Amino acid sequence: MNAVLHHKGVLWGFRTTLLLYMLLLIILPIAGIYVQSLSGGLGVLVESLTEPLAWQSVWLTIRLAFMAAVINVAVGTVSAWVLHRYSFPGRTLLNSLVDLPFALPTAVGGLMILLLLGPNSWVGQLADSMGLRIVFAEPAIVVAMVFVTFPFVIRAVQPLLEEADRSQEEAAHTLGASKWRTFFQVLLPQMRPGIISGGMLAFSRALAEFGAVVLVAGNIPGKTLIASVYIFGEIESDNPQGAAAVSVILLTLSFLILWLINTLQAREGRS
Amino acid sequence: MHIEVRDLNKWFGQYHAVRNVNFSIEPGQLIGLLGPSGGGKTSVLRMLAGLERPDSGEIRFYDKVVNDVPPQERGIGFVFQHYALFKHMTVFDNIAFGLTIQKWPKDRIRARVAELLELTGLSGIEKRYPHQLSGGQRQRVAFARALAPEPQLLLLDEPFAAIDAKIRKELRSWLKSLIDRVGITSIFVTHDQDEAIEVADEIMIIQQGSVEQKGTPWDIYKTPQTPFVAEFIGESTILTNVHTLKGFDSTSAWPNSKALIRPEYIEVGRVGELRLASASERGIVKALHFRGSEWLVEVAVGELTLKTYRTLENPVLQIGEEVQVLVHRIYLFNEDDHWVMENPLKEDPMPVHI
Amino acid sequence: MTSRPPRISRTGKSLIGFTYMLFIVLLLVPLLQIVFGAGKQGMGSFTQSLLRPEALHAMWMTFSVVVVVTLLNTFFGILTAIVIVRGDWLGRRVRQLMNSIIDLPFAVSPVIGGFMIVLLLGPHTVLGAFLAKVGMPVVYAFPGMVLATLFVTFPLMVREVVPVLQEIGTQQEEAASLLGAYSWTTFWKVTWPSIRWGVTYGVVLTIARSLGEFGAVLVVSGNIINKTQTMTTLVYQDVDNFNIAAANSVSLVLAVGSVTLLLLMEWAKKRKGVQADAH
């Protein structure tokens, strides 16, 4: 019995509408990709995946997304801690800025990086004079991924810090633990679930990122062509088979991560 | 309102929360559902309210089966454990909610709410929001809100659980006198025996989904009908070898039975202090605990350790002191049976008339 | 929160300095770059690139998608959240499954999200061909763009409302029903006031996401000028055509919109917090 969902007819209508909506919007399309990838038989799927450009793009994406996630874990943890622990002028402003990458269209983010680090900017020219390539090369892709996934770790760690009892830290001090020791043995374990799930979310989002990367990567096949751009290219050149094959790899990987995060969170919630 | 419950059953998945519950309640009574947490009391209450559907059995109000009547139409007032006040509404709006639903005219609503504010002693704070109230005030608001539409039956789920111990006692007697004044049939759930004994006209003891006993607090205390009730109500010690106690040697005839002894079944005094010397026996004071208004004395009698009270009026005992112990009665039980046994030696063979 | 140390150690100061640097370099400078970039080319060129017919049309498309998606997503999002938290008639297993399904769009690359719709409803499919015949083509048309954006934004509203519903519990709703209120009244008078700031936050998130959606829309819309081009896909095309100045102008408009939304987000979050504290 339930106070809001009481009426029988309303209930039936709710259920049907909702299940249909979820089926049509989410389940059917996702299933469609898997079906498409196998529609030519397993052989065709394997063939599409052994295409060097395909697996190179997948591997490149995983590698760079992992780098971006590691960077975010490092700077995100420190930022979250600083924003929580210290009060200093501008703290509220910085805290609001964290969400900027979520609010900003990814294409705009890509353009910003292009303008900032591109061949016409002073950073780009400086790098050029040192023989480094930023834009249309791997560094720009990592920067784009870091930018887009920046909020994840911070936003996952912050609530844990809010919840954490300051007295635990104080207890460690009274027991003679130094500041660094307290940080590593008391604070870090408290932040760990957030660091892990935030890092994994960042990784999975970086794997999927398209808008910011497509503008700065240069998309040179086999070199700076990441998976989602590869998929886009295959769709554009009317090769749904190839697109579906890479999509399936990327999707499965993302679902695995999502599942991992959920199990981890469920376990945290129970303990 | 006359309430009749027959063979009520409720399952939550595999868990049999309410088992074959039967009872009837006369109009105007104040009933306490007492029992350990998770024993099914709240489920019974929620089924009466229509918030939960019974899996089998009948609930009758005024001889009419109400199983299929939705909560909106049962005309019941319900006070939730944590009050469930509408957080975004003022005290006034909370109390007026049921009346607005019934589309009372505005001036009548105002009059009725004012009346209830007066009755619950909340006048002057009707513009506040729930988070600005103390625990006791919230409880009063919840109470006023439930009473506003003039229900026939008032259900209260652990009404005092969320209140500080100190105010709790005050609120208890306030609630009892208020319910008496309004004259409404009421049922409340509690796991606190003091609360049930103090407030209820009748107590129903519920354990593992079944009603163990129903009766006035005095009846239940005096003649518990199951070992569970005997143990649950009041303080007690459970002993196995009571046949060693003076006057209870005949209990050796029931070798598998256990005895339950309450502190108030036992009298303790310095040698010569007790009147029925012939029925008493010797013991040694093992420990003394000051309980604020009395002493709790632990006495060793042979192999057994008994607990009893001693008033502060009598001379203070010392640990190790030899004392006289008189056991007035014990409550015996085994798997099949249970009975109260008075000390046969108390019938003084040579009464002294003064 | 209240007992912060009064003095900040040297380590603390350098950490704060680091955080400031990070935020300035990673977030603020790029944002200002867009502003100055547009300023450098001058007001005339800025308005000129915005007044191009394709730019005006793109703005109109973006606006339409945002409005339709926000309305639909808010409605279905609230409905889904209520069913997941309160729909005990569905059984725990089913609701847990629904709960996991909701997060799936988070894990799907937007490009794939668009591709899925093309596969399912594209002109080569039976359903797509049929819909095109009856005059309602989905792919390379407005409905497809809405669908793609709905897919991407679906979790946002649900994820905001579910925790609030769980937190407020069922007792207030039960109290209302015992006082005679039926579902509809209970929802509007008791449930809605409790979830409204969560919903507001969800709406702002949905607007932000649908305003900025790029990958999924790019694939589904085909990026046809003056027909299915949105602001974000226009930026992409301008960059592709090396018309950086025009891209910059459109981006500035988008960025201003995003920053406004960011401020709204902060405001809604604060209100949500105030409501959560007022227990």
Question: CATH code at B178?
Answer: 3.40.50.300
CA distance B53 to chain A (A): 7
Q: Which of C177, C194, C275 has its CB closest to that of B72?
A: C177
- Are residues B131 and B61 located together in one domain of the fold? yes
In 3D space, the residue among C20, C32, C42 whose CA is nearest the CA of residue C259 turns out to be C32
- Are residues B224 and B258 located together in one domain of the fold? no
Where a domain ends, among B169, B202, B231? B231
More confident residue, B279 or B53: B53
Among A residues 38-67, those touching chain C with beta carbons less than 8 Å apart: none
* B129 in reach of chain C (CB within 8 A): yes
Angstrom CA distances, A196 to A100, A181, A233, B134, stand at: 22, 21, 33, 41
Residue numbers in chain C where pLDDT is lower than 70 = 1-7, 274-279
SS3 at position A121: coil
* B272 in reach of chain C (CB within 8 A): no
- Are residues B195 and B274 located together in one domain of the fold? no
Q: Helices in C87-222 by DSSP H: which ranges?
A: 92-107, 110-121, 126-133, 142-168, 171-178, 183-186, 192-212, 215-221
pLDDT tens digits, B340-350: 888 887 765 55
Query: Residues of A with CB below 8 A from C112's CB?
Result: 33, 208, 228, 231, 247, 250-251
* Gap between the terminal Cα atoms of chain A: 31
pLDDT value at position A5?
Answer: 53
Looking at the domain assignment, is residue C57 inside a domain?
yes
Looking at the domain assignment, is residue C6 inside a domain?
no
Expressed as residue numbers, the domain containing C231 is: 47-278
* B50 in reach of chain A (CB within 8 A): yes
- Are residues B187 and B301 located together in one domain of the fold? no
- Are residues B128 and B255 located together in one domain of the fold? no
Q: Return the sign of the alpha-carbon dihedral for residues A232, A234, A240, A244.
A: negative
How many domains does chain C fold into? 1
* Measured distance CA(A244)–CA(A188) in Å, rounded: 41
Where a domain ends, among B231, B248, B282? B231
| pLDDT at residue B354 greater than cutoff 50 | no
In sequence order, what are the beta bridge partners of B202?
B31
| pLDDT at residue B20 greater than cutoff 60 | yes
Looking at the domain assignment, is residue C250 inside a domain?
yes
pLDDT value at position B22?
Answer: 93
> Residue B190 in contact with residue B33, Cβ under 8 Å?
yes
pLDDT tens digits, B73-83: 898 999 998 88
pLDDT value at position B5?
Answer: 94
pLDDT value at position C1?
Answer: 44
How many domains does chain B fold into? 2
> Residue A58 in contact with residue A249, Cβ under 8 Å?
yes
Looking at the domain assignment, is residue C95 inside a domain?
yes
- Are residues B142 and B259 located together in one domain of the fold? no
8 Å CB contact of B101 and C185: yes
* A8 in reach of chain B (CB within 8 A): no
Query: Residues of A with CB below 8 A from C11's CB?
Result: 179
Query: Residues of C with CB below 8 A from B86's CB?
Result: 172, 175-176, 189-190, 193
SS3 at position A166: helix
In 3D space, the residue among B326, B332, B1 whose CA is nearest the CA of residue B182 turns out to be B1
Comparing alpha-carbon positions, the chain A residue that sits nearest to B54 is A1
CATH number for B285:
2.40.50.140
Token pair for residue A226?
A: 């990441």
- Are residues B109 and B258 located together in one domain of the fold? no
Q: What percent of chain B has a predicted confidence (pLDDT) above 70?
A: 98
* C115 in reach of chain A (CB within 8 A): yes
8 Å CB contact of B53 and A1: yes
| Sequence-distant (≥ 6) Cβ neighbours of residue B223 within 8 angstroms | B340
Expressed as residue numbers, the domain containing B346 is: 235-353
B189: left (phi over 0), alpha (psi -120 to 50) or beta: beta
* Measured distance CA(B268)–CA(B266) in Å, rounded: 7
pLDDT value at position C10?
Answer: 82
pLDDT value at position B345?
Answer: 79
* A176 in reach of chain C (CB within 8 A): no
pLDDT tens digits, C35-93: 888 878 888 888 888 999 999 999 999 999 999 999 999 999 998 898 888 877 777 78
Angstrom CA distances, C110 to B192, B247, C202, C210, C214, stand at: 58, 88, 19, 12, 8
What number is the ipTM of this complex?
0.86
pLDDT value at position C279?
Answer: 45
Other CB atoms within 10 A of residue A138 CB: 17
- Are residues B310 and B206 located together in one domain of the fold? no
Looking at the domain assignment, is residue C37 inside a domain?
no
> Residue A115 in contact with residue C248, Cβ under 8 Å?
yes
* C276 in reach of chain B (CB within 8 A): no
Looking at the domain assignment, is residue C238 inside a domain?
yes
Residue numbers in chain A where pLDDT is lower than 70 = 1-11, 269-271
> Residue A221 in contact with residue A51, Cβ under 8 Å?
no
pLDDT value at position A109?
Answer: 92
- Are residues B86 and B179 located together in one domain of the fold? yes
Token pair for residue B309?
A: 């009270």
CATH number for C199:
1.10.3720.10
Where a domain ends, among B215, B231, B247? B231
Secondary structure (H, E, C), chain B: CCEEEEEEEEEECCEEEEEEEEEEECCCCEEEEECCCCCCHHHHHHHHHCCCCCCEEEEEECCEECCCCCHHHCCEEEECCCCCCCCCCCHHHHHHHHHHHCCCCHHHHHHHHHHHHHHCCCCCCCCCCHHHCCHHHHHHHHHHHHHCCCCCEEEEECCCCCCCHHHHHHHHHHHHHHHHHHCCEEEEEECCHHHHHHHCCEEEEEECCEEEEEECHHHHHHCCCCHHHHHHCCCCEEECCHHHCCCCHHHHHCCCCEEEECHHHEEEEECCCCCCHHHCEEEEEEEEEECCCEEEEEEEECCEEEEEEEECCCCCCCCCCEEEEEECEEEEECCCCEEEEECHHHCCCCCCCC
8 Å CB contact of A90 and C20: yes
- Are residues B239 and B227 located together in one domain of the fold? no
Q: What residue type is assigned to position A9 of the chain?
A: G
pLDDT value at position C2?
Answer: 46
> Residue C148 in contact with residue C220, Cβ under 8 Å?
yes
Other CB atoms within 10 A of residue C69 CB: 26
- Are residues B247 and B138 located together in one domain of the fold? no
> Residue A76 in contact with residue A154, Cβ under 8 Å?
yes
SS3 at position C169: coil
Looking at the domain assignment, is residue C253 inside a domain?
yes
* Measured distance CA(B146)–CA(B154) in Å, rounded: 7
Q: Which of C172, C182, C185 has its CB closest to that of B84?
A: C172
* Measured distance CA(B233)–CA(A212) in Å, rounded: 71
Comparing alpha-carbon positions, the chain B residue that sits nearest to A3 is B51
- Are residues B177 and B209 located together in one domain of the fold? yes
Place of tokens 């409550």: B331
**pTM score:** 0.82
